[in-house]
A and B are shown apart, each in its own frame.
Chain A
């Protein structure tokens, strides 16, 4: 996949500084600064209404920023939108398609829109169908496609012109796990070929797969960086604490017990195991003993690192003004 004619040979493909957007008195995006390099997969996370879609829309020149600057592919989105647009593909949160048209017609419309004709159109069409496995559904109306196939079709449409930067707004919302994994497989392929990806998601497991993540909370970007760097942040690993993973035969009961144990700062359940942030003074033996006293067996304690979720929770707490 070729990566268009960009203005940024070596610099970042997406770069924003102090990006701000107000709707009336409400500030939906407040002073957001980050950058994404070529071939990176940037995972953009944040609660509902935190401003993720608004950031994407500004980066796609769909919304005027109220302040700050944004450059995509080296072009200023506010000043040179027409030069920037050919570089980008955008798949909106709604998978917007023409419901009364078939999958084939939708895709071929976007092909024509991007200037493909005749044999070139047919060739590109076939490539995209092969890429997204849409072949069996080509003659079905978009309105009748299930969520997963709508998403594939919308993505095929966004990829028609081989964009250098692809913006995907919650591409996996409402999609089954298999389709989700397939989509991520595709995204890794694209990134490997030099495409830059900007993906919003609510799924932590997807965030873990990104080469870079950003977390936005109440319109402000709380953090952005490489997942491993974020996990090493001092805010996430307070001095005098350690993280342990505790497996046992009764995790829900165990969670209640451990939350009552002095020195346990937080405890989260993951299926049959729990992740704990505890004071360094709390020994594995103390954990085993308290669970044993409650009649919970098959206890296994091992040290672990923070997850991205731990990172976001810790940083959100701090942004909200201190821990629990």
Chain B
């Protein structure tokens, strides 16, 4: 117990400090939740029920049927019917709709006569994911329509070829399912690394660290006393974030919540220790902030949170391999989306635990029990 001397006193004080100021606690807990909700919605790249304007100059049974097929894909939603091509273009240009469908006169006649029946789809290309999705859906729809017609003309009952994809995980292919675990990883990183880095640097700035240095407190006692309260707080925060994930974003946890909890705990430990390590270098809060950002930015870009790591240049992939966030996101996605078991994610957990352990030792070695 002697290497941890002073641990309980520090613990007592940290809890008092944290609880004393509910506003600070709120400031620590609330932004991550907000970030999570904002990130989660902002990253909703699924395109469904796009606002669509319709110009039906044909006004036949055939034209209405094809519009219905468009709507049935769930990609398009007719919100406006216009009377001219100019109005249609204007609706897209002004941003009232993303897509304009123009069925020219003679559409049904051409179809009947076996000529190529044309219809025009205007797509707002300024939003690339919307444009891509609209385009794909429209082309696929046209192809299928054509095939069916050709087949029935040839007296073929069934199409000769069909792919039946079965999406195993995340069957609805919703992007929140993919992104939200990553958002949780990044959001936790921002809040925790910062919290411990600040808490020690504040003591340095205020001069209380000097006071601790002359006491019988040992470095392990101090470091652990700083870690434990923040581990608890950020644990609660992580719990809230996962609750939001499954409640608000409708992303169920396919695997064991306990495995997820274990991964989160290891991840938080590594992050908090990283914060302590930063505080051994940073002389003031500004520096602590800057150092923390140095770690947060790569975690956003190289952890696989947004961009898949497989397609990254090897340098970026290597950077990603050094970040705890990478392993947490992998694990969280595995457990949440694919129902991965403890055995499946054990290698990742091992890396997280190793990182936390190494950082902690590094921290204790780096943490000079002196000033200057």
A interface residue numbers (CB < 8 A to B): 23, 57, 60-64, 82, 85-86, 88-90, 92-94, 96-101, 105, 109-110, 112-115, 157
27 contacts between A and B (CB under 8 A): A57-B210, A57-B371, A60-B213, A60-B214, A61-B370, A62-B370, A62-B371, A63-B372, A82-B216, A85-B216, A89-B214, A90-B211, A92-B210, A92-B211, A96-B207, A96-B208, A98-B206, A99-B206, A100-B21, A101-B13, A101-B17, A109-B12, A110-B211, A113-B9, A113-B212, A113-B217, A157-B211
Question: Please, what's the 1-or-0 string for B301-327, where 1 marks a CB less than 8 Å from any CB in chain A?
Answer: 000000000000000000000000000
Indicate if the CB atoms of A112 and B9 lie closer than 8 Å. yes
Q: Which residues from A are CB-within-8-Å of B17?
A: 98, 100-101
- Which chain B residues numbered 144 to 193 have a C-beta less than 8 Å away from chain A? none
Q: Which of A85, A98, A113 has the most C-beta atoms of chain B within 10 angstroms of its own C-beta?
A: A113
Closest to A82 in B: B216
Indicate if the CB atoms of A101 and B370 lie closer than 8 Å. no
Task: Decide yes or no: A63 and B13 within 8 Å by CB, A85-B215, A96-B210, A157-B211 being known contacts.
Answer: no
Q: Which of B12, B21, B207, B217 sits near A94, CB closer than 8 Å?
A: B207
Does B16 belong to the interface (CB within 8 Å)? yes
**Complex CA distance for A115 and B12, rounded to whole angstroms:** 13
Q: Which residues from A are CB-within-8-Å of B211?
A: 90, 92, 96, 110, 157
Q: Which residues from B are CB-within-8-Å of A89?
A: 214
Task: Decide yes or no: A64 and B214 within 8 Å by CB, A96-B208, A101-B20, A113-B6 being known contacts.
Answer: no
Indicate if the CB atoms of A114 and B214 lie closer than 8 Å. no
Does B8 belong to the interface (CB within 8 Å)? yes
Task: Decide yes or no: A85 and B214 within 8 Å by CB, A100-B20, A109-B13 being known contacts.
Answer: yes
Q: Which residues from A are CB-within-8-Å of B206?
A: 94, 96, 98-99
**Complex CA distance for A90 and B273, rounded to whole angstroms:** 29
Task: Decide yes or no: A90 and B210 within 8 Å by CB, A100-B21, A112-B12 being known contacts.
Answer: yes
**Complex CA distance for A60 and B13, rounded to whole angstroms:** 23
- Which chain B residues numbered 1 to 50 have a C-beta less than 8 Å away from chain A? 6, 8-10, 12-13, 16-17, 20-21
**Least CB distance, A235 to chain B, in whole angstroms:** 35
**Complex CA distance for A90 and B216, rounded to whole angstroms:** 13
**Least CB distance, B372 to chain A, in whole angstroms:** 5
**Least CB distance, B102 to chain A, in whole angstroms:** 66
Q: Which residues from B are CB-within-8-Å of A62?
A: 210, 213-214, 370-371
**Complex CA distance for A196 and B20, rounded to whole angstroms:** 37
Listed from nearest, the 8 A-B pairs whose CB atoms lie closest are A96-B207, A112-B9, A113-B9, A94-B207, A96-B208, A90-B214, A109-B13, A100-B20
**Complex CA distance for A109 and B208, rounded to whole angstroms:** 12
Q: Which residues from A are CB-within-8-Å of B215?
A: 85, 110, 113-114
Task: Decide yes or no: A112 and B8 within 8 Å by CB, A62-B371, A92-B207 being known contacts.
Answer: yes
Closest to A54 in B: B372
Indicate if the CB atoms of B13 and A98 lie closer than 8 Å. yes
A96-B207, A100-B21 given; 16 more Cβ-contact pairs under 8 Å: A57-B371, A60-B214, A82-B216, A85-B214, A85-B216, A88-B214, A90-B210, A93-B207, A94-B206, A96-B206, A96-B211, A98-B206, A99-B206, A105-B16, A113-B10, A157-B211
Tell me if B's interface is mostly helix, strand, loop or mixed.
Answer: helix
- Which chain B residues numbered 231 to 288 have a C-beta less than 8 Å away from chain A? none
Q: Which residues from B are CB-within-8-Å of A86?
A: 216
Q: Which residues from B are CB-within-8-Å of A90?
A: 210-211, 214
**Complex CA distance for A98 and B10, rounded to whole angstroms:** 12
B interface residue numbers (CB < 8 A to A): 6, 8-10, 12-13, 16-17, 20-21, 206-208, 210-217, 370-372
Q: Which residues from A are CB-within-8-Å of B370?
A: 61-64
Task: Decide yes or no: A98 and B208 within 8 Å by CB, A64-B370, A112-B8 being known contacts.
Answer: yes
**Complex CA distance for A99 and B211, rounded to whole angstroms:** 14
**Complex CA distance for A82 and B208, rounded to whole angstroms:** 19
Q: Which of A61, A82, A105, A109 has the most C-beta atoms of chain B within 10 angstroms of its own C-beta?
A: A109
**Least CB distance, A253 to chain B, in whole angstroms:** 47
**Least CB distance, A200 to chain B, in whole angstroms:** 15
**Complex CA distance for A39 and B201, rounded to whole angstroms:** 37
Indicate if the CB atoms of B16 and A101 lie closer than 8 Å. yes
Q: Which of A60, A61, A89, A98 has the most C-beta atoms of chain B within 10 angstroms of its own C-beta?
A: A98
Q: Which of B6, B212, B215, B370 has the most C-beta atoms of chain A within 10 angstroms of its own C-beta?
A: B215
**Complex CA distance for A105 and B309, rounded to whole angstroms:** 50
Indicate if the CB atoms of B214 and A109 lie closer than 8 Å. no
Q: Which residues from A are CB-within-8-Å of B21?
A: 100
**Complex CA distance for A232 and B213, rounded to whole angstroms:** 41
Q: Which residues from B are CB-within-8-Å of A85?
A: 214-216
Task: Decide yes or no: A61 and B214 within 8 Å by CB, A98-B13, A98-B208, A101-B13 being known contacts.
Answer: yes
Indicate if the CB atoms of A115 and B371 lie closer than 8 Å. no
Q: Which residues from B are CB-within-8-Å of A64?
A: 370, 372
Q: Which of A96, A97, A114, A157 has the most C-beta atoms of chain B within 10 angstroms of its own C-beta?
A: A96
Q: Which residues from B are CB-within-8-Å of A157?
A: 211
**Complex CA distance for A101 and B213, rounded to whole angstroms:** 20
**Complex CA distance for A41 and B216, rounded to whole angstroms:** 25
**Complex CA distance for A90 and B371, rounded to whole angstroms:** 14
**Least CB distance, B218 to chain A, in whole angstroms:** 9
**Least CB distance, A198 to chain B, in whole angstroms:** 13
**Least CB distance, B119 to chain A, in whole angstroms:** 68
Q: Which residues from A are CB-within-8-Å of B9?
A: 109, 112-113
Q: Which residues from B are CB-within-8-Å of A60?
A: 213-214
Q: Which residues from B are CB-within-8-Å of A98?
A: 13, 17, 206, 208
**Complex CA distance for A184 and B367, rounded to whole angstroms:** 37
**Least CB distance, A139 to chain B, in whole angstroms:** 12
Closest to A160 in B: B215
Closest to B24 in A: A100
**Complex CA distance for A105 and B19, rounded to whole angstroms:** 13
**Least CB distance, A20 to chain B, in whole angstroms:** 14
**Least CB distance, A315 to chain B, in whole angstroms:** 29
